[in-house]
Structure 1
Amino acid sequence: MSTIKDVAKLSQTSVGTVSRYLNGYPIKTVNKEKIEDAIKCLDFSINPIARGLKTNKTYTVGILIPKLANLFSTSVIEGMDQVFDPLGYSILVCDSKNSLEKEKEKLRLFKDKLVDGIILMPVNNTEQHIREIQENGVPIVLIDRLVNNLQCDGVVSDNVNGVYQAVEAIINRGHRRIAIIAGPQNIYPAKERLEGYLRAMKDYNIEVDHNLIYQNELTREGGYQGIASFCAMDEPPTAIFTSNDETTIGAYKSIIERGLLIGEDISLFGYDQTELCQMVRPQISVVIQPLETIGKRSAEILISRMKGDYTGFPIINRLKTEIVVTNSVKTIY
């Protein structure tokens, strides 16, 4: 079995340099490339138990997300793994199923497993159980959602401006009766996305009809019921914005079942790109989040915190979104 000494010899670097690389510390790029080539050539692997005993680390990171079976989760986790894997970290991924009790249970599991750090997408604004983990010395980085009254690093999308630009694009195609399927306002991104909608309407001097703001869970059923509510109006909206991928899918199903044509009878603009948005005709206009970048950046911040570097704490990164406007939004001038 190959050892660190073997890696150092083949890569023509010192044992100390190899050790620094394996423990996640920065080294010269030329040495990093040599060491990585030597590791592949020797099929070198680290004994995590031995390393843990020596360093008081498990080289394991806990990742907790409300729902794993969607594009957001798979994409951000892929971004995280691109950072963690080369540094020898294993990831323990759990699903809280949008349940606060399940979130608390999984965080206790992470604590019992002695993870070195946690990346969390919280289900709501409850903070005490998260603060307790922090007080036990385990660094946490939040993604997608921040928590009120909690000092914590976070990586989120610029929800307000993303939705603002989407609603602005709808307005610029002549629409004035613009509806939104919004989420619960105790969820950080749902609150910000509604704020983006309201700002755009205000800036373009369009009076907000609160009957056009449908609040429900950010689920397919929520999107489906939102369309049902709007279609029952005497004067339905001409365009609808859906606040996440699940509501977009539910809204699409509800529209099609009613025999309506998207981009003709009703305009639709969603948040987050899904395979459905790309496959249907016309493709659905969407706000696109930099999902892999969210994963990478959250992992990079957590690496720094696990090394004891708390410079700038708490760091809040707001990443820019972009919009793709298609024929799903009709021009009605």
Structure 2
Amino acid sequence: MASIKEVAALAGVNRSTVSRIINGEGSFRADTKRKVEKAMAELDYRPSAIARSLAKSNSNMIGLMVTYYTGGFFGQMMNQVQLELDEQQKFLITAQGHHSSEGERKAVEKFRDLRCDGFILHSRYLSDEELLKLSQSKTPFVLLDRTVIGLEDKCVVFDHLRASELATSYLLDHGHRRIACIGGPTMRHSSQVRVEGFKQAMQARNLEIPPEYIAVGDYELESGYEAMKQLMALSEKPTAIFSTGEEMTRGVMKYCYEHGIRCPDDISIVSYDSVNSCRGLFPHVTTVDFPITQMAHKAVQLLVSQIDAGYSAPDKRYLEATIQQGNSVKRISESFQN
């Protein structure tokens, strides 16, 4: 690959002139710029983005940290952030947190080493104290789907509590009283909040929840399958399921298919969904929409507003839940459950 020295020699100018023309610094005669551009074209010279970032105050690169690269949720998140940054003519650098504080710490260090102008962090394992300390550095960042006291202006969040209340209330409004909930990993704050929303909706109707009606999964298909297996083994089976993750819902539906359980005739189901995967199931599952596309859009807006002076921050950074109605819920009478 050609070097800047070779470009300068072919154009008959010094290296500093080539560097300044590439970086848009200073003013030069039109014929000088033409000679440099012609030399670059002839030698197929492409400036190094990293080298340019070392010479300038910004790299035009944005770091995005996700838990891992697999799964529809994270794929949708990365895709939307990429689309938003393309419009801003910025480059996306991604890193995985690998389900650990150490993994997330290394991801942030990678972004800093690459001189990223800012970070979008889907952080689950870094402590509030570490994030508060990180906020004291010069590099701005945005937290996706997490709130830290003192960093509210850096957070784009979703109302998980209200979302679960809506999903559970939808089942309650269709006559169901024996409702089971399949939650996510108990160590995840958002998982805890989703289950809490289920509990609050049930308690608001003065309904007791048998402990065995709350199953624990890990947001993967297999855990939804196993949770459904446990629930269907109960002597008093639920008439409805609230699944807090779309992949677990796929596992629930797989169990139902394999065991001749008809939805919604035998069991009603409402699920969380972020990438419309539940719309591809049969029957179409009624869902509470987790608006990851909107969240990613607002996260990029918020971060760019911190990087580029004069760019407006989004007015609303707290997103509310909505129900997407399918045909997986059957209306039943009180006598049906007795």
Quick one: distance in 1 between partners of 2:188 and 2:319? Answer: 18
Paired position in structure 1 for 2:70: 69
In structure 2, relative to structure 1, the CA distance for the partners of 1:252 and 1:151 (3 Å cut) is same
Equivalence map 1:106-121=2 (5 Å):
106-121=107-122
Quick one: distance in 2 between partners of 1:275 and 1:82? Answer: 19
In structure 2, relative to structure 1, the CA distance for the partners of 1:70 and 1:133 (3 Å cut) is same
Question: Aligned AA for 1:159?
Answer: H
Q: Could you say which structure has the larger radius of gyration?
A: 2
Query: Tell me, what secondary structure is at the counterpart of 1:156?
Result: strand
Contact persistence 1:180–1:212 (CA under 8 A): yes
Matched, 1:269 2:270: yes
Question: Aligned AA for 2:260?
Answer: G
Question: Aligned AA for 1:248?
Answer: T
Query: Tell me, what secondary structure is at the counterpart of 1:135?
Result: coil
Quick one: distance in 1 between partners of 2:157 and 2:216? Answer: 22
In structure 2, relative to structure 1, the CA distance for the partners of 1:264 and 1:273 (3 Å cut) is farther
In structure 2, relative to structure 1, the CA distance for the partners of 1:147 and 1:256 (3 Å cut) is farther
Give the fraction of aligned pairs with identical amino acids, expressed as a percent: 27
TM-score by length of 2: 0.76
In structure 2, relative to structure 1, the CA distance for the partners of 1:58 and 1:287 (3 Å cut) is same
Higher relative contact order at CA 8 Å, sep ≥6: structure 1 or structure 2? 1
Moved more, 106-115 or 142-151: 142-151
C-alpha distance after superposition, 1:4-33 (max 9, x if no partner):
xxxxxxxxxxxxxxxxxx99xxxxxxxxxx
Cα offset for 1:305? 1.9
Cα offset for 1:202? 1.7
Contact persistence 1:277–1:283 (CA under 8 A): yes
Equivalence map 1:45-64=2 (5 Å):
48-49=49-50, 52-53=53-54, 55-64=56-65
Contact persistence 2:182–2:242 (CA under 8 A): yes
Unaligned runs of 5+ in 2: 1-22, 25-45, 334-338
Cα offset for 1:109? 1.2
Paired position in structure 2 for 1:324: 324
Contact persistence 2:274–2:292 (CA under 8 A): no
Quick one: distance in 1 between partners of 2:126 and 2:187? Answer: 6
Quick one: distance in 2 between partners of 1:240 and 1:284? Answer: 11
Unaligned runs of 5+ in 1: 1-21, 24-44
Paired position in structure 2 for 1:195: 196
Quick one: distance in 2 between partners of 1:145 and 1:193? Answer: 14
Quick one: distance in 1 between partners of 2:149 and 2:185? Answer: 15
TM-score by length of 1: 0.77
Cα offset for 1:148? 6.7
Matched, 1:294 2:295: yes
Contact persistence 1:183–1:216 (CA under 8 A): yes
Paired position in structure 2 for 1:184: 185
Contact persistence 1:127–1:150 (CA under 8 A): no
C-alpha distance after superposition, 1:171-217 (max 9, x if no partner):
11110010111123442321221122122112222222222111232
Contact persistence 1:127–1:149 (CA under 8 A): no
Contact persistence 1:153–1:316 (CA under 8 A): no
Question: Aligned AA for 2:109?
Answer: R
Paired position in structure 2 for 1:91: 92
Quick one: distance in 1 between partners of 2:273 and 2:54? Answer: 43
In structure 2, relative to structure 1, the CA distance for the partners of 1:316 and 1:163 (3 Å cut) is same
C-alpha distance after superposition, 1:51-83 (max 9, x if no partner):
534541111111011133333223333332333
Query: Tell me, what secondary structure is at the counterpart of 1:171?
Result: helix
Query: Tell me, what secondary structure is at the counterpart of 1:260?
Result: coil
Contact persistence 1:76–1:293 (CA under 8 A): no
Quick one: distance in 1 between partners of 2:134 and 2:317? Answer: 22
Quick one: distance in 1 between partners of 2:274 and 2:306? Answer: 31
